[in-house]
Amino acid sequence: MVAHRTLGLRDPFFEITTPKNAKYKYFLFLIKQGDTMVKCYACGKRFESSEDFYRHAVEEHGSVENAIYEVEERKVTPEELNEILKDVDKLAGFIEAEYENGILRIKKLRGVTNLNYRIDVWNCTGTLLLKPDDDEDTVAIGYFRVPRRIYRPEIEKELEKFCWQVLEDRGGAINMSGIYYLDEEHVRKLRDIVGF
């Protein structure tokens, strides 16, 4: 007997799409964005153009999808499965889960440290968020907004540069709406800037 479950999707670039659509759109997106640095989340290297990243991903990791997503496999009983599934969408980077012949395969977006640590891009404005209620009081910095509690005029330039870096690393842009999660390197960098 085969059980298959698709539990949901949290995609960095497009909020409501199927995994297949997300992949398809991401390919289009890579071709469009030719002039920014892109980070490979499988090995951490950065590339001058999306085309260079694309080539690297296929040659080094087998496919672009392998460089973006990771699949964790766990041997679990049906009882354990029910427990895991209760909280599976709280796993950082969770995309979908599949259960077949006692093996649970969890597909996750690489490089997500905490679902609260992200930049939400909407209407050409990116809002940096670190806590669920951080969007209630923000300060505008160029195309971005940051929580007032972390803002200081002397770090404004660094914060703005930081926000651009997060978007670039994910192959994104300010006119590409969606959620861009911070990776470990970003979190360290932000801690250096802000000291949170």
CB of residue 44 to Zn ion, shortest distance in Å: 7
How far CA 3 is from CA of 81, 106, 144, in Å, comes to 11, 14, 44
Beta carbon nearer to Zn ion, 68 or 129: 68
Beta carbon nearer to Zn ion, 6 or 63: 63
In order, the DSSP letters of 4-67 are --------SS-SS--HHHHHHHHHHHHHH--SS-EE-TTT--EESSHHHHHHHHHHHHSSHHHH
The whole-angstrom separation of Cα 24 and Cα 8 is: 18
Q: Which of 22, 12, 13, 24 is nearest to 111 (CA)?
A: 12
CB of residue 85 to Zn ion, shortest distance in Å: 31
Contact set with Zn ion (CB under 5 A): 40, 42-43, 60
Beta carbon nearer to Zn ion, 184 or 192: 184
Beta carbon nearer to Zn ion, 18 or 63: 63
Beta carbon nearer to Zn ion, 64 or 129: 64
CB of residue 2 to Zn ion, shortest distance in Å: 33
Q: Which of 164, 129, 124, 161 is nearest to 148 (CA)?
A: 129
CB of residue 61 to Zn ion, shortest distance in Å: 6
CB of residue 115 to Zn ion, shortest distance in Å: 24
**138 has which bridge partners?**
147
The whole-angstrom separation of Cα 96 and Cα 105 is: 8
Side chain identity at residue 122, one-letter code: W
* The residue to which tokens 């497009």 are assigned: 14
CB of residue 135 to Zn ion, shortest distance in Å: 33
Beta carbon nearer to Zn ion, 60 or 83: 60
